[in-house]
Structures are given as structure tokens and as C-alpha cells.
Amino acid sequence: MTENTPKHILQRLMDNPWILLALGLAIPFISYTLWGWIELLQVPPAPLP
């Protein structure tokens, strides 16, 4: 590949640790943490005597 050949978008993604860091933070925080947190907030308080 010469210097003038544009890089494939996936190659550019893999060469950019900052975008990978952002995606690596966003996906688990949304899928696991935020979604789970919202579900826990919706649990009604136990009707203790």
C-alpha cells in the first residue's frame, strides 16, 4: 500500500486507540451499567411491615 492509498475505514478504526477507547467505554456502560441501573431504579420498595 502506498502512502497515497486511502486506508479502509476499519483499518483507520483499528489504528485509532482513542476511538476504540471511546467505543469500549460506551458499549459496556450503556449495555450493562446504565441499562441495569435503570432496571434497578424501577424496582419498587419492599412493603415491609
Question: What residues numbered 13-42 form the site for another protein, per CB under 8 A?
Answer: 13-15, 17, 20-21, 23-25, 27-29, 31-33, 35-37, 39-40
Give alpha helix (H) positions in 1-49.
Answer: 9-14, 17-28, 35-41
Q: Residue 20: which residues within 8 A CB-CB, separation 6 or more?
A: 13, 14
User: If binding means CB under 8 A, how many residues of this protein chain bind another protein?
Assistant: 23
- Which grid cell is 35? 441499562
User: Which chain residues interact with another protein by CB under 8 A?
Assistant: 10-11, 13-15, 17, 20-21, 23-25, 27-29, 31-33, 35-37, 39-40, 43
